[in-house]
């Protein structure tokens, strides 16, 4: 039971960290830290174990096919870490794909695209 509570607390804390992003990215940089892990292991190698579904989704996408790794959107995890990446990081490659936001409620790429499969959200 104690173990369950600890896990629950961790979950809650991490969700809070995620939600903190809404306050603005600069602040996030200071606040959100990737857990201390063995950084001699690559992102995708570790996450194949810890978040296999996400890795599977990513691999199925164009980004996965081209091996655009986790770090492209989420940072290196040490010096920079963006649990919730901004559209800024998309624009380097996709900057000239004109999207008329006035016709949608979207304010950024991930309003329409799932971050890992890159497919449209079902409700869009």
Instruction: Tell me the three state secondary structure of residue 51.
Output: coil
Tell the smallest beta-carbon distance from residue 80 to another protein (Å).
7
Site size toward another protein (CB under 8 A) is 61
Which DSSP symbol is given to 20? Answer: G
When binding is defined by CB under 8 A, the residue of 56, 67, 104, 120 that contacts another protein is: 67
When binding is defined by CB under 8 A, the residue of 31, 66, 99, 104 that contacts another protein is: 66
CA pseudo-torsion sign 66, 67, 70, 75? negative
- Helix extents (H) in 43-123: 43-50, 52-60, 62-65, 70-74, 88-94, 109-112
When binding is defined by CB under 8 A, the residue of 31, 41, 56, 104 that contacts another protein is: 41
Tell the smallest beta-carbon distance from residue 30 to another protein (Å).
16
Q: How many CA atoms lie within 13 Å of 69's alpha carbon, on the beta-carbon side?
A: 11
Contacts of 47 (CB under 8 A, 6+ apart): 54, 55, 70
Q: Is 83 in the site for another protein (CB under 8 A)?
A: yes
Residues that bind another protein (CB under 8 A): 2-3, 6-7, 10-11, 14-15, 17-19, 21-22, 24-25, 35, 37, 39-44, 46-47, 49-51, 54, 65-69, 71-72, 75-80, 83-84, 86-88, 91-96, 107-108, 110-111, 114-116, 121
């Amino acid at each position: 039971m104690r173990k369950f509570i600890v896990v629950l607390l961790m979950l809650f804390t991490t969700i809070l960290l995620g939600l903190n992003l809404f306050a603005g990215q600069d602040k996030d940089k200071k606040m959100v830290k990737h857990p201390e892990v063995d950084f001699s292991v690559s992102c995708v190698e570790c996450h194949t174990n810890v978040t296999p579904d996400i890795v599977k989704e990513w691999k199925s996408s164009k980004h996965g096919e081209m091996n655009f790794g986790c770090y492209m959107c989420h940072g290196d995890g040490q010096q920079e870490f963006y649990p919730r990446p901004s559209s800024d990081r998309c624009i380097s490659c996709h900057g000239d794909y004109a999207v008329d936001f006035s016709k949608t409620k979207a304010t950024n790429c991930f309003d329409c695209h799932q971050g890992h499969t890159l497919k449209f959200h079902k409700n869009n």
